[in-house]
């Protein structure tokens, strides 16, 4: 497939018919300094699409937008890096809203439509954090029965006004560039760049009763009350306030719809 609109907004676009993982490929390419910020890699099919914590992202060939965008952050505040997946989720949310949908951001890395996952984001950095690839998958033209899990939806299922993948990818990269450059101008301060307030107002998680599962296997239940200045989810349990920087969140009131 050709991506004329996306080509015109990225600093270089590589569109592959098939690969293992666009994140993995772009992390390798980023090691040579030839690839500038906003260089983008997209594919029709991934045989080893990555989610967080060794989970998989699954999509049939040609059914989705799957892409990774390169940035080389040099924020004065290191907390800026923590915002990059939420930033991409906001770029996706706002592009989907223009297609007539009412998407929300589920902390830390999902975009939901009517409580179901239409998109997932995975930001991965190289060792010294000098290059970060922000990858995302968006379900576009799958019918309900073609989706890999029953917690998922697609643009087709949700009734979006367009299924044009090039136009969508171009819009998302444009939105992401705008948000990123605002954050850079603010020295990595997500409050000053208004990134945090945009994410808060689109959050499906803040205000919810949540169960947080931590990477070490422990759990906590409480109310999600805020996203702090570092992008951490603030959760009030019966005994204390937790600031969660990594973990999985289950929205308990709508748990039947989620994984």
Q: Does 39 sit behind a cis peptide bond, omega within 30 degrees of 0 on the bond before it? A: no
Provide the minimum distance between the beta carbon of 56 and ligand BT5 in the complex, in angstroms, as a whole number. 6
Is 12 near ligand BT5 (CB under 6 A)?
no
Contact pattern for ligand BT5 over residues 95 through 134, marking x by CB under 6 A: --------------xx------x--xxx------------
- Cα within 13 Å of Cα(157), Cβ side: 22
Q: Which of residues 131-190 bind ligand BT5 (CB under 6 A)?
A: 135-137, 139, 148-149, 152
Is 10 near ligand BT5 (CB under 6 A)?
no
Cβ nearer to ligand BT5, comparing 136 with 180: 136
Is 50 near ligand BT5 (CB under 6 A)?
yes
Residue with the two structure tokens 């997209």: 42
What's the distance, CA 147 to chain centroid?
Answer: 19
Cβ pair 171, 99 in contact under 8 A: no
Q: Of 5-13, 15-23, 161-169, 207-215, which segment contacts ligand BT5 by CB under 6 A?
A: 15-23
Tokens of 88: 């991409």
Binds ligand BT5 by CB under 6 A, chosen from 18, 31, 178, 259: 259
Is 23 near ligand BT5 (CB under 6 A)?
yes
DSSP annotation of 209 reads: E
Number of residues that bind ligand BT5 (CB under 6 A): 30
Find the residue with minimal CB distance to ligand BT5. Answer: 120
Binding region for ligand BT5 (CB under 6 A): 21-23, 46, 49-53, 55-59, 66, 68, 109-110, 117, 120-122, 135-137, 139, 148-149, 152, 259
């Amino acid at each position: 497939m050709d991506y004329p609109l996306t080509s015109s907004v990225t600093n270089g676009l590589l569109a592959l018919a098939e690969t293992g993982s666009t994140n993995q490929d772009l992390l390798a390419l980023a090691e040579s300094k030839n690839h500038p910020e906003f260089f983008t890699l997209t594919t029709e099919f991934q045989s080893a699409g990555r989610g967080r914590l060794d989970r998989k992202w699954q999509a049939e060939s040609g059914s989705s937008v799957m892409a990774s965008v390169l940035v080389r952050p040099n924020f004065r505040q290191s907390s800026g890096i923590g915002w990059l997946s939420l930033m991409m989720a906001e770029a996706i949310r706002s592009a989907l809203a223009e297609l007539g949908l009412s998407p929300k951001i589920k902390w830390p890395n999902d975009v939901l439509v009517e409580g179901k996952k239409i998109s997932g984001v995975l930001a991965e950095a190289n060792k010294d954090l000098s290059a970060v690839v922000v990858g995302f998958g968006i379900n576009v033209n799958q019918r309900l029965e073609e989706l890999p899990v029953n917690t998922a939806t697609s643009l087709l299922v949700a009734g979006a006004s367009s299924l044009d993948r090039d136009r969508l990818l171009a819009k998302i990269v444009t939105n992401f560039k705008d948000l990123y450059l605002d954050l850079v101008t603010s020295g990595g301060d997500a409050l000053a760049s208004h990134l945090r307030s945009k994410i808060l107002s689109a959050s499906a998680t803040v205000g919810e009763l949540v169960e947080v599962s931590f990477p070490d296997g422990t759990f906590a239940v409480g109310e999600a009350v805020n996203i702090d200045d570092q992008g951490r989810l603030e959760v009030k349990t019966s005994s204390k306030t937790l600031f969660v920087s990594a973990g999985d969140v289950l929205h308990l009131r709508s748990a039947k719809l989620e994984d």
